Structure 1
């Protein structure tokens, strides 16, 4: 592909040509294209626009902005980024309600299995590495491959895990437990999380991470090279340690979130 720039840091074989991004088509791509079309029509300008299909690749608009990964430092670790990320997640969820309420929504092809009740279409991986910033503000979001119908708290819990972040790896963690809980509470409040949802957050973080661990194992057993490599690199063990971390600190997390 002439004048193509490979985009690194995530999935392989993703290229930018001008203002377009070329990504390999997946079994769930048509479902995500319909979702992206709906989100854009609902006024979500922060998400990619589906442009078309070129052979075995999809074409999406490039989401401009600064991108980051763990460890969280500088702009992505700022309070402004945290608040704007939470508000954007709420915007995605609210815009997706109509899609989630379709009678046959669970029959669509999704990368991750739908989780009842189908309140919204979750992004599925609303993490710091899947957003774009302008200054300290989150102004874009991409990589909707993991989107799937589920309760709001399912997506909210995983987002909190990623943004607090409730991680134990020296490469990923940020601050003390108290600081992580404070960031989680600010994210919740900026999203507009209800008291009932806050009470469910620790349990849903654990459920969501267990679902991720099971998915990784299933994909690796199928011979999916990406997940085999992730497991070899220690990602699965990190998730298991993080589950233990959240479980052992659940009373503290719950007390502060609900205070």
Structure 2
């Protein structure tokens, strides 16, 4: 059994074809979601195997994993467009989750957003996918999943994959290159002109909600978020909000090209 990440009391382990993770208050809901996704044809996400004491057991998503700065296979066009296609598949399969599980109480880590069209992954970023070659073969870490509109999840995914980030460690390419990547992601997802029109504004709202969530968790005594705030992690999101506001018009025009 190999320790992967986390503090000793919240460690995550990879053991052959399984992942063992600490249970969270929302885990039961996520387990039902994963079962629903597999039932509706999504193979590229973990399977819920069972609960062992205070830990959940999930299937391991095989493939190469990456983080920022994006380079190599994760920065390729194929990775970008295959990620978008997988996000669309997740959204389409999750659209019936709430109605199919109406008899259950649902608990989520992040607050639900209206309209509740799909179950958003909540953190569909390059560090939460697995690649085989240059193709995204799966996505994991559904802790941040929550109901919301498609464009809410799409906006954060585009922000992460373009990426519209200002930190030198996270940034990739010029603004023009970022817009090209964002458009390629939206096209591969099948985003409508209306979704593209509101995408930048939704990115800004999503990042503002993330900063507010971080601050609220820190104020409530969450040690991880207290450390994140103390280290200024939220400041990069605020800088990215300013970047998006500054370039909102040109980004939107680029996304709408050909629509």
The TM tier, using the shorter chain, reads over 0.9
Correspondent of 1:34 among 32, 52, 55: 32
Q: CA RMSD in A?
A: 1.7
Shift of 1:17: 1.3
- The residue number in structure 2 matching 1:7 is 4
Shift of 1:9: 8.2
1:222 and 2:220 correspond: yes
- The residue number in structure 2 matching 1:20 is 18
Assess, with a 3 A threshold, how the Cα gap between structure 1 residues 177 and 243 changes in structure 2: closer, same or farther. Answer: same
1:80 and 2:78 correspond: yes
| TM-score (ref. length: structure 2) | 0.95
- The residue number in structure 2 matching 1:243 is 241
Correspondent of 2:184 among 172, 183, 186: 186
Shift of 1:26: 0.4
Structure 2 residue matching 1:206: 3-state secondary structure: helix
- The residue number in structure 2 matching 1:131 is 129
Structure 2 residue matching 1:146: 3-state secondary structure: coil
1:119 and 2:117 correspond: yes
1:171-226 alpha-carbon deviations (Å, 9 max, x no partner): 10000011001000000000000011000100000000000000000000011111
Assess, with a 3 A threshold, how the Cα gap between structure 1 residues 129 and 176 changes in structure 2: closer, same or farther. Answer: same
Q: Distance in 2 between matches of 1:7 and 1:72?
A: 21
- Quick check: 1:22–1:59 contact (8 Å CA) kept in 2? yes
| More deviation, 96-105/137-146 | 96-105
- Quick check: 1:101–1:118 contact (8 Å CA) kept in 2? no
Q: Where does the alignment leave 5 or more consecutive residues of structure 2 unmatched?
A: none
- Quick check: 1:100–1:119 contact (8 Å CA) kept in 2? no
Q: Distance in 2 between matches of 1:208 and 1:196?
A: 17
- The residue number in structure 1 matching 2:199 is 201
- The residue number in structure 2 matching 1:171 is 169
Q: Distance in 2 between matches of 1:112 and 1:250?
A: 26
1:211 and 2:176 correspond: no
Shift of 1:6: 1.5
Question: Which structure 2 residues correspond to residues 41-56 of structure 1 after superposition, within 5 A?
Answer: 41-56=39-54
1:76-127 alpha-carbon deviations (Å, 9 max, x no partner): 0000000000000000000001014458599510000000101000000000
Q: Distance in 2 between matches of 1:34 and 1:218?
A: 27
Q: Distance in 2 between matches of 1:137 and 1:21?
A: 22
Assess, with a 3 A threshold, how the Cα gap between structure 1 residues 64 and 103 changes in structure 2: closer, same or farther. Answer: closer
1:94 and 2:58 correspond: no
Shift of 1:234: 2.3
Structure 2 residue matching 1:7: 3-state secondary structure: strand
Question: Which structure 2 residues correspond to residues 102-113 of structure 1 after superposition, within 5 A?
Answer: 104=102, 108-113=106-111
Q: Where does the alignment leave 5 or more consecutive residues of structure 1 unmatched?
A: none
How many residues were matched structurally? 256
Assess, with a 3 A threshold, how the Cα gap between structure 1 residues 53 and 9 changes in structure 2: closer, same or farther. Answer: closer
